A and B are shown apart, each in its own frame.
Chain A
Amino acid sequence: MIFLVTRRKFVATLISITSGIIYSAHAIALDAKVGVLLPLTGTQAFYGKEAKNGIDLAMEEINDPNLNLKLIVEDTQSTPLEAAKGINKLITSDKVSVVIAEVISSNAIAAASISEKAKVPILSPAATNDDVTLGKKYVFRTCFIDSFQGVVMANFAAKNLNAKTAIILEDADSDYSKGLSNNFLSTFQSNGGKVLKNLKYSQKDTSFTAQLGDVRKLKPDVVFIPGFHQQVGVILREAKDLQIKSKMLGGDGWFTPELRSIAKGAENGGYTSTHYSTDSDEPKVKAFVEAYKKKYKTSPSAHAALGYDSFKIIVESIHKVKSSDSQKITEALSKVKDFPGITGSITMDKNHNPIKPAVILKYVPEGYKFITSIHPEKY
């Protein structure tokens, strides 16, 4: 009896040893931990969740037995402080190789300075403020930058809409909004236009009548509102109530289904610059939109597409260097060239910003109307 048990044990050990040898001989699987740092709760949770959905979808599509990826997700609660705490945890205790960090510029800036010191690369899906990557070796992004977006909208207003006067309604609580409005201001003026007022509001505001009263009185050709949907939705509705006829323009913060549900029709006629158009004819965009709709029962926002692209870029970089070493991944990220993303072909420039076009869409009752696509070389 005793002999039997030992023999069984012996066989079992033998099997496990051989299978271990076979397994390791078959493939040297590469383990890599990827940190994800997004606002999953708090005021800007919508953008974080969309990006997370995109990342999850991309994760599912990766079918490589040699690559064992693990996602570690941290919530920033939409605040820079929690973003800093989150990136610290990911780097020091989870020991991730690379992080997809933050869609909101203010929080991305907070996380970026920490990852820069720790020499762990981060890739932001949607933080468009210029300062996010400026002068940093380990910080990258998948989206175009504010100076580009603000310039595009100012040129569009001056040239395509023949606007002579403008009023800016700026979100005083956001670096993103400040970046867009500064660039809009200077470009619009250099086009011969006049910015009548640069008004500010706070993200905590629930009524914007006081600001809109000035718009109503001064009757500018365009109103530029580089904000987020929560406030922009209400602003557009109130502007309609106050019978303001000026054309409304905004940045990619507008491009969410929530804006429509808050504005309830007041958004129609407004223009937004964004990263891609869901009704593009490109096969890869179509396939992405279909896969996303199938999984989440709603159409993907720009942030979902950017999250998706970010994750794919990271996977490609890990593949290229066949290592989970942060230093090597950083080098691979800085050499990304002509990556075929959903949001356009992505090539990192020397400042780690991708060179890619912005799309301008117009809100119409049945959805969005594609107006034009503007390439960086032309702006």
Chain B
Amino acid sequence: MSDFLQAIIDGVAIGSLYALIAIGYSMVFGILQFVNFAHGELFMLGAYFVMLFLTMGAPVWAALLFAILAVGTIAIVIERIAYKPLRKHNRLAPLITAVAMSLFLQNVVQVLFSPNSLSYPVNIPGTIVTLGDLYVRIRDIGIFILTILLAFCLELFLNKTKAGQGIKALAMHSEASKLCGVPFDRTVSLTFFIGALLAVIAGTIQGMATNQIFPLMGVNAGLKAFAAAVLGGIGDLRGAVLGGLFLGISESMLVSYELSTYKDGFAFVILILVLLIRPQGLLGRAQLVKV
């Protein structure tokens, strides 16, 4: 029993980071009906920018703020130059540019910062508290609370502010919302910015916790977050959080039952099963499409 509980505790920590990235995936999909495969690279860029500002001597909060602004701007620019011109084409075209964009960003970072892993000057200590046989890192509790808090704030933002309602309206029906005066381009940019914000926070947490960042760190994180988003019902925020946590916990279960070799495949097994059995995901609603 204690093994089981421990696996849940470990999984929540990993899952929280998946969830933060998955939210960005889900939001962009909700609005544009397209999977931004370069989203994992925003997570990686975030980790690198924070690292850069920290080595320049900025305090942690300022480094994080600057990094969010920088990566947020990059996300908006990417959308404008790589996705927007293809918006009128079929859905495959922006998907392919997204893959290209992700490769491009990985390689730019490899050229600028070397392909080696770098370590952070500031770390989050991994002090643990024990509860009988069980133990939990204070850091992980913090990450979990932060994830829930951010998801809650986002929900609040979407429901209570005009800009947030614009995003919701757009997700519901893009043509109708345009007619009702929702500024389309600005709302799309805002969505990309929010996605980038969450990805930067996740990247920074991972960088400071594991003390190593490398140009390809976004690949795995991105895939897992994608699987989490689909699992939860892509386009649904709470679904993304739930999917992330579920994926994290099931992965840590596989490890503790000595099946860790299958761990990375598991995300894709889940992906396939969800698409076969419940394509709309755990929390997603089935949509009727009029043709």
Q: How far is the CB of A79 from chain B (nearest CB, A)?
A: 11
Inter-subunit contact A210/B212 (CB<8 Å): no
* Min CB–CB distance B203 → chain A (angstroms): 11
**6 sample A-B contacts, Cβ–Cβ < 8 Å, listed by A number:** A40-B115, A206-B206, A213-B6, A216-B135, A237-B126, A237-B211
For window 244-258 of A, CB contacts with B under 8 Å fall at: 258
A233 close to B212 (CB less than 8 A): yes
Question: Is the pair B117, A262 in contact by a Cβ cutoff of 8 Å?
Answer: yes
Q: Is B33 an interface residue (CB 8 A)?
A: no
Which of B68-76, B176-184, B258-266, B276-284 forms part of the interface with chain A?
B258-266
Contact code string B118-160 (vs A, CB < 8 Å = 1, else 0): 0100010111100001010100000000000000000000000
- A209 CB–B CB distance under 8 Å: yes
B211:A204 contact, CB within 8 angstroms: no
Known interface pairs A209-B137, A234-B212; 13 further A-B residue pairs with C-beta atoms within 8 A, sorted by A's residue number: A49-B116, A172-B261, A199-B258, A199-B260, A200-B258, A206-B14, A207-B210, A209-B10, A210-B7, A210-B255, A211-B255, A216-B135, A242-B135
Interface residues of A in 17-72 (CB under 8 A from B): 40-43, 45-46, 49
In the bound complex, CA of A207 to CA of B260 (Å): 12
Check if B115 sits within 8 Å of A41, measured CB to CB. Answer: yes
Asked whether, in the complex, the Cβ of A204 is within 8 Å of the Cβ of B264, the reply is yes
**Is B36 on the interface with A (CB-CB < 8 A)?**
no
The B-contacting residues of A in range 81-136, CB under 8 angstroms, are: none
Q: Residues of B contacting A204 with CB < 8 Å? A: 220, 264
Residues of A within 8 A of B (CB): 40-43, 45-46, 49, 172, 197, 199-202, 204, 206-207, 209-211, 213-214, 216-217, 230, 233-234, 237-238, 241-243, 258, 261-262, 264
Taken together as a complex, chains A and B put the C-alpha atoms of A40 and B115 apart, in Å, by 8
Question: Considering only CB atoms, which chain B residue lies closest to A238 in the complex?
Answer: B126
Question: What residues of chain B lie closer than 8 Å to A200, measured between beta carbons?
Answer: 258, 260-261
Contact with A along B174-215 (1 / 0, CB 8 A): 000000000000000000000000000000001001111010
Report the separation of the CA atoms of residues A213 and B13 in the bound assembly, to the nearest whole angstrom: 14
Residue of A nearest to B106 (CB): A41
Given A202-B264, A211-B255, A241-B128, does the pair A230, B7 have CB atoms closer than 8 Å? no
Q: How far in angstroms is the closest Cβ of chain A from B134? A: 9
CA distance A41 to B220 in the complex (A): 17
Chain B positions 59-113 with a Cβ under 8 Å from a chain A Cβ:
110
Check A172/B116 contact, CB under 8 A, given A262-B212, A264-B123. no
CB-based closest 6 A-B pairs: A241-B126, A210-B255, A45-B115, A204-B220, A261-B119, A41-B115
Chain B residues positioned under 8 Å from A234 (CB to CB)? 210-212
User: Which residues of chain A have C-beta atoms less than 8 A from B115's C-beta?
Assistant: 40-43, 45-46
- Chain A nearest CB from B215 CB (Å) reads 8
From residue A338, how far is it (CB to closest CB) to chain B in Å?
35
Q: Are A213 and B119 in contact (CB under 8 A)?
A: no
B127, A241: Cβ atoms under 8 Å? Answer: yes
Nearest CB on B from A360, distance (A): 25
Given the known inter-chain contacts A172-B261, A262-B212, please indicate yes or no for A217 contacting B116, CB distance below 8 A.
no
Residues of A within 8 A of B211 (CB): 233-234, 237, 262, 264
Closest to B248 in A: A207
Report the Cα distance A261→B118, complex, angstroms: 8
Chain A residue, CB-CB nearest to B251:
A210
- Shortest CB-to-CB span from A116 to chain B, Å, is 29
> Does B26 sit at the interface, judged by CB under 8 A?
no
Q: How far is the CA of A41 from the CA of B212 in the complex (A)?
A: 17
Q: Write the chain B residue with the least CB distance to A230.
A: B117
Question: Which residues from chain A contact B264 at a C-beta distance below 8 Å?
Answer: 202, 204
Taking CB atoms, residues of chain A closer than 8 Å to B210 are 206-207, 234, 237
